[in-house]
A = this chain, B = another copy of it.
Amino acid sequence: MVTIKQIADLCGVSRGTVDRVLNKRGNVKAEKRELILQMAKKLNYKPNPAGKALAARKVNPVTAIILPSTGIAFFDDVIDAMEKAAKKYEDYGMRTQWHILQGYNVEEQCRILDELKSQVNAVIINPINDSRLAAKLNELIAAGIFVVAINNDLEQAGTHYYVGSDYVNGGRTMGALLKMIGPEQAHIGVILGSLKMLGHRQRLQGLKTAIAATPAYTITEIIEDNDDNIAAFSHTRDMLTAHEDINVLINLSSGGSYGSCRAALSMAPRKFLILVFDTIPTTKDLMEKNVVQAAIYQHPRQQGQKAMQLVFDYLVNGILPDKEKYIMNNEIRILENVQ
């Protein structure tokens, strides 16, 4: 392992000079700069994270976390994992600032980002798909703030990182699973949060792709529940009442899955095959009661943990992520392996 001191000795300069070159702080004669850069490259210099971390304690970098999550069970796990990571990283001098919002509001997210711009070094955000927000994030990125989008990406934004799942694949996986465990003839009722949400639309698209080649499988109706259990309950009841042939229920988002399962139960003795996303507590319960047969798990804890790690590695250790997108696998969970 090469150190700054070794490079300095070999180049006949001081450690300070090497540091200035490697961290692009300027004020070094061009020829020396070249020599040092070449030497560093030749010896494959990699800064020691422990040294960096120790020195970083003097500056105390700050990370803002913006999650519109109150009342969304899926995010409970994300947040819990992030809090654990934050505690660990605090020992290294990294501070966190939490903004847990209620619902999705573009103006609010923009306003918070404006306030933060001058105070923080990094932002982890679950962004709304909106061009105004993208513009705001671009401002922060231009100002040198490290941005990580979690669980939903914003393609329009500039250089940033994404941690989340592959929604299209999630829908496809669910569709493929349905074909394996479903009845011969499937009349499918689909419930999702909102067609305005890119992720939900993508899951629907994946699901349609998966069953496209199976004529016996048709989607009878698609309803939106705005991730609300009460709305999910009544709309699902309406749908099931209107379509006596529906024998499969698919929940493409977990916000209202409990409500819609309760609606299915209320139609007894009618029986349904029910598949959902996420293994939130209510879903585990419904699995035990044999109401929900399977769920797609999106690794919420890993998502939170990875987002925090990317920020830490960058701010404290000076290491850039090796990928732009970190995509979690869509796992199939049934009662036996749901944990």
Contact = CB atoms under 8 A, between A and B. Distances in A.
A91 B46 contact: yes
Contacts of A1: 90-91, 93
B51 A180 contact: no
B336 A172 contact: yes
Contact of A169 (B172, B177, B337): B337
Nearest 7 Cβ contacts at the A-B interface: A50-B53, A332-B332, A176-B336, A173-B336, A173-B337, A50-B54, A180-B181
Interface of A: 1, 46, 48-51, 53-54, 57, 90-93, 169, 172-173, 175-177, 180-181, 210, 293-294, 329-337, 339
Given A1-B91, A180-B334, 7 more contacts: A1-B90, A1-B93, A49-B92, A173-B334, A177-B336, A329-B339, A331-B332
26 contacts: A1-B90, A1-B91, A48-B57, A48-B91, A49-B91, A49-B92, A50-B50, A50-B53, A50-B57, A50-B91, A51-B54, A53-B53, A169-B336, A176-B334, A177-B334, A180-B180, A180-B181, A181-B181, A210-B336, A329-B331, A329-B337, A329-B339, A331-B332, A331-B337, A332-B332, A332-B333
